[in-house]
Structure 1
Amino acid sequence: MNGFSTIRIQPVRLHWLVDDSPGDLCAHAGVVVTVDGEPFITSAEKDLAVSTGALHLLRTLADDHTPQTPRAEHLIPHCGHFMAVDDESGAVVNVGCLSGANWWVRHEGGGVVLTREDGAEARVSEREWARAVAEFADAVDAFYATSPARQPADEHEAEWFPAMRHEWRQRRSAINLSPEEHRNEA
């Protein structure tokens, strides 16, 4: 035993808020995170912005998300009241509401320590974390692929939406998973 757990991050009931309208840019779903098959984060009944959440999770592959250095208000926000491209960093920034699903992510000693807000922790390998994040991002991306093309409604959306999708694809393409590493949906 290597001391590392297994993890799954799954969107539940992917949907658009505005009945498949191409102007709805953010995919929503509930989210369930299991560690060694046991619930770790359960937000299946919430309506979360999983497209933004996928980007936030992809960012945690390179950066910690801790109370001291939060990368977002929530790893998976409830909503994105405001999205913009930061002029200084070029990163898409999401300003949402006070709700969402959150846990802390800290890279430590060849692994990743995940900490819930109640203090409960799990430790997964870097590779296991990358696999779980990639599969979550892929599930959300597949939902985009099977939906009508998203169409930003104005200049502001036309700036941040392609920037978000570009960063998402760039970060996702950096994760190379072998066929054996992909888990089949049960």
Structure 2
Amino acid sequence: MLELRILESGWISGEADDADDPCAHGTVMLAVDGHALVTPADGSFTLSAAGLYLLRTLQHDHAPADTVSDGNALFPCCGYIALPSSGVFPVFCIGCPGGRDVTVTHQGNEVLLDAGDGPRRVSLLEWRKAVLAFVDAVEDFYARCRPKHRATDPEEARGWALFWAEWQQRRQAAQAL
């Protein structure tokens, strides 16, 4: 059985609402058959960046040499600036090197998840459902708060627009399967 869920969510300021913080933060649980790959003890992550990266894993592998996160961990500590990218993906999130990385490898109708202590196997359908539930929880958190202030830097504003456009496109594609 796969468990992927947000345990706590908030803004970096600790306030109940923060229109200046574009990134949701919080703790996560990821476990397969009771074996924990990510826990609250691993720290607080940028849930919004993690959500986009998880959506990308529905179609792409995530491995150290070929990431969906432009060098960040799958569950990044930081992802505070979104900028346009000319790489494989239209946007990348700048953050610190912290976080918790989990390798995601597709094998037919299955996905292997590995946090460094051996792969755990789940069905692609189960992975897709869990990822969609995760991103829905992130969206629900944003919906309970005031709209975010637009970034004053034009490239960053464009980056955040691309971030949410890619998020919606990937979410809709996953729901259509």
TM-score over 0.5 for the alignment?
A: yes
- Tell me, which stretches of 5 or more residues in structure 1 are unaligned? 1-5, 179-186
CA-CA distance at 1:92 after TM superposition: 1.1
- Tell me, which stretches of 5 or more residues in structure 2 are unaligned? none
Match of 1:30 among 23, 27, 41: 27
Structure 1 residue aligned with 2:9: 14
Structure 2 residue aligned with 1:3: none
Rounded to whole Å, the distance in 1 between the matches of 2:157 and 2:86 is 15
Structure 2 residue aligned with 1:129: 127
| Percent identity of paired positions between Structure 1 and Structure 2 | 34
Contact 1:111 1:125 (C-alpha < 8 Å) held by counterparts? yes
Structure 1 residue aligned with 2:37: 40
Pair 1:103-2:136 in alignment: no
Rounded to whole Å, the distance in 1 between the matches of 2:41 and 2:5 is 9
Pair 1:68-2:62 in alignment: no
CA 1:95/1:158 → structure 2, altered by over 3 Å: closer, same or farther? closer
Structure 1 residue aligned with 2:137: 139
CA-CA distance at 1:65 after TM superposition: 0.4
If the length of structure 2 is used for normalisation, what is the TM-score?
Answer: 0.88
If the length of structure 1 is used for normalisation, what is the TM-score?
Answer: 0.84
Structure 2 residue aligned with 1:92: 91
Structure 1 residue aligned with 2:113: 114
CA-CA distance at 1:89 after TM superposition: 5.0
Moved over 4 A (4+): none
Given residue 167 of structure 2, which amino acid in structure 1 is its aligned partner?
Answer: W
CA 1:63/1:45 → structure 2, altered by over 3 Å: closer, same or farther? closer
Aligned residues: 172
Structure 2 residue aligned with 1:51: 48
Rounded to whole Å, the distance in 2 between the matches of 1:41 and 1:8 is 10
Rounded to whole Å, the distance in 1 between the matches of 2:114 and 2:42 is 21
Contact 2:9 2:25 (C-alpha < 8 Å) held by counterparts? yes
Moved more, 89-98 or 7-16: 89-98
Structure 2 residue aligned with 1:83: 82
Contact 2:84 2:155 (C-alpha < 8 Å) held by counterparts? no
Rounded to whole Å, the distance in 1 between the matches of 2:164 and 2:99 is 21
Moved more, 35-44 or 139-148: 35-44
CA-CA distance at 1:68 after TM superposition: 2.6
Rounded to whole Å, the distance in 2 between the matches of 1:90 and 1:104 is 18
C-alpha distance after superposition, 1:119-163 (max 9, x if no partner): 321101110110111101110110011110112231233111121
Contact 2:37 2:102 (C-alpha < 8 Å) held by counterparts? no
Structure 2 residue aligned with 1:157: 156
Rounded to whole Å, the distance in 2 between the matches of 1:90 and 1:38 is 31
CA 1:40/1:87 → structure 2, altered by over 3 Å: closer, same or farther? closer
Given residue 103 of structure 1, which amino acid in structure 2 is its aligned partner?
Answer: V
CA 1:83/1:135 → structure 2, altered by over 3 Å: closer, same or farther? same
